Structure 1
Amino acid sequence: MSPDRPVPRRIVLAGASGMIGSAVAAQLAAEGHTVTALPRAALADGAALAAAMAAARPEVVISCIASRSGAPKDAEAVDYRANLALLTAAEAAGAGHFILLSAICVQKPLLAFQHAKLRFEAALAESGIGYTIIRPTAFFKSLSGQVKRVKAGKPFLIFGDGNVTRCKPISDGDLARFIAGCIDNPEALGKVLPIGGPGPALSLRDAGELLFAAAGKAPRFRSVSPAMFTLAGKLLSLGAPFSDWFAEKAEYARIAHYYATESMLLRDPATGEYSADLTPEFGSETLADHYRRLLAEA
């Protein structure tokens, strides 16, 4: 994705304190770019944002911000409005390229945060600025929540038989290199780029087996039905009209059900089915590498 000798650029990076954002910041610095990291608070203060952008004079703006909870109000505030404020400031500052970190799940939008992301993707595409929209598959972090369970001798939790969904997870470092490789890349301009890590596509059961192998333990699984999230969502939705707390918790249940039943792969436009073969791959670090590193650090 990136040239052998990247031309140093002035870059504004939003979301540099996050998991992916920090990896992007490190990659950009390693390539010799001048990076101005915008704190999240600056995106809510129009005057402060304009001043920061004017001082930075960015040639490229990269957004790695995302709502932390996925709740409707958080998604509206961050995935849409904060990104929109950043885009407006980028245009005013004369930036020529806006790179957005989105998510592959927006191709089948059923959740509030997915709709918020798509609204901003549309605004970005219509803005007239050069743009690149990156839609990664699962992150390693999203498949690392059971490391402590396995290390403690507990079974790995799966949905159904563990083969309901599949993904091509990508490491923070590989994704950061992919994002940086879009700078000064004419093949990336005006494109929506789905991207996964090195294959093959993995099911949740596959991930569990990799984790047990890294831990030197015999695989043990416990099945959980995704229907429990559907039931929880319906019950919590009864209180949603009267309470933001119930509305948020109902959305969390819907989010959990989505990730328990939908693959993080590119959908075949001809069939609407998820396709491992059509999902592009990038990088070299595997989930097995990641698990071995986590266990060694622990």
Structure 2
Amino acid sequence: MTIDETSSPEWRSTNHAPLAVHDPVKGGAVTASMRVLLLGATGTIGMATARALVQRGHQVVCLLRPSRRDQNLQANAARPDSLTGVTVLWGDASDPEVWSQPSLKQARFDAVVSCMASRTGSPQDAWRVDHQAHVCALKAAQAAGVRHFVQLSAICVQKPLLAFQHAKLAFEKNLIESGMTYSIVRPTAFFKSLSGQLDRVKKGKPFLLFGDGQLTACKPISDDDLADFLVGCLDDVSRHNQILPIGGPGPAITPLEQGEHLFALLGMPPRFKRVPVGLMDAIVGVLSVLGKLIPAAADKAELARIGRYYATESMLVWDAAAQRYDEQATPSHGSQTLFDAYARWVKGEGAPDRGEHAVF
């Protein structure tokens, strides 16, 4: 593991009193300065969380796993521009040997915040990252006496049908039973997940809908608002030892409403192409059969299942007793709405990099 030597991180937790730092937004002094290990900082939410931690005066160390396209970063110990003000370590958190390195084993932290998640959602990757890597991190944190573990999970684990959902739930159970103070955050849809049709609509193509476009609804949350909520878990005791579903501001919106709003922003007449859910079922069925013979087809079958899940299940709190999704029971946080983001993207102010998470 290559280390950015800008500082020498210490892992072990201490009982020092938190320092008072200035809050540039609210003014005055706020209780902060913790030493925080951040996992998953190469993702857009992880990068936003790193910024939020630094802005609140925390000392941040990021354990990064290079993506396939960034393998050179590990060799050069290069710091991504988006992670200014943090210490960077390179390594695969799912490898137990990484946690035995002196730079981690002999260091101290007050808290661990994990935004780490499987990049593909395939069963093998999900169990390696969403479960095994987190178990390794939890064991290391327990051994070092870390006080608090903030875990970014997903609201879709309420109705688990997919490998990555079961892997996330398995780690949630490990964390809850660990005895460590925990905050398990289950966000709704992300802006980047709902940006995939922007380019096709700009090109005059129809907006794709599954069914009538009203099968599902969500309360999307921006990276910055979610990061603010995650970091707030460190200080807000009401979020300790809790499972925390969270969405963005405003009412829940359907895919049909998303499409209508995009066309209105572009000054174009609405054009929709409706895709029957049965077509996705057929694709899943064919790939599942092929997957018994061809491993690559098995992974594609899982990706198709993921697509079908998001096409038919709302990203809202599930009321098991009433057997329905409940918009009113889904908490809201922040100020940025998806439609605000659409307006910026239409003006050419940039759309989120969906990267290796484009399937979601």
The residue that corresponds to 1:7 in the other structure is 32
Pair 1:47-2:103 in alignment: no
The residue that corresponds to 1:162 in the other structure is 213
Worse-superposed segment, 76-85 or 239-248: 239-248
Deviations 1:189-230 (A, max 9, x none): 110000000121000011111212222322211111121111
User: How far, CA to CA, are the matches of 2:134 and 2:318 in structure 1?
Assistant: 26
Confirm or deny: 8 A CA contact 1:10 1:56 kept in the other structure. Answer: no
Q: What letter corresponds to residue 345 of structure 2 in structure 1? A: L
Confirm or deny: 8 A CA contact 1:98 1:132 kept in the other structure. Answer: yes
User: How far, CA to CA, are the matches of 1:31 and 1:113 in structure 2?
Assistant: 32
**2:270 alignment partner, one of 188, 212, 219:** 219
User: How far, CA to CA, are the matches of 1:106 and 1:45 in structure 2?
Assistant: 25
- Aligned CA-pair RMSD: 1.6
TM-score, structure 1 as length reference: 0.96
Q: What letter corresponds to residue 111 of structure 1 in structure 2? A: L
Query: Match of 2:290, SS?
Result: coil
Where in structure 2 are the equivalents of 1:1-298 lying within 5 Å? 5-40=30-65, 41-50=91-100, 51-296=102-347, 297=349
Q: What letter corresponds to residue 52 of structure 2 in structure 1? A: Q
Task: Give the Å deviation of 1:56.
Answer: 4.3
The residue that corresponds to 2:3 in the other structure is none
In structure 1, the gaps of 5 or more residues are: none
Number of equivalenced pairs: 297
Task: Give the Å deviation of 1:270.
Answer: 2.2
Identity %: 51
Query: Match of 1:166, SS?
Result: coil
Structure number, greater radius of gyration = 2
Specify which structure has the higher proportion of helix. 1
User: How far, CA to CA, are the matches of 1:227 and 1:165 in structure 2?
Assistant: 16
User: How far, CA to CA, are the matches of 1:63 and 1:53 in structure 2?
Assistant: 15
Confirm or deny: 8 A CA contact 1:168 1:199 kept in the other structure. Answer: yes
Confirm or deny: 8 A CA contact 1:53 1:93 kept in the other structure. Answer: no
Task: Give the Å deviation of 1:54.
Answer: 3.5
Confirm or deny: 8 A CA contact 1:12 1:56 kept in the other structure. Answer: no
In structure 2, the gaps of 5 or more residues are: 1-24, 66-90, 351-360
User: How far, CA to CA, are the matches of 2:155 and 2:315 in structure 1?
Assistant: 6
Query: Match of 1:267, SS?
Result: strand
Task: Give the Å deviation of 1:55.
Answer: 5.0
Q: What letter corresponds to residue 138 of structure 1 in structure 2? A: A
The structure showing larger relative contact order (alpha-carbon pairs under 8 Å, at least 6 residues apart) is 1
Query: Match of 1:163, SS?
Result: coil
Worse-superposed segment, 232-241 or 110-119: 232-241
Q: What letter corresponds to residue 331 of structure 2 in structure 1? A: P
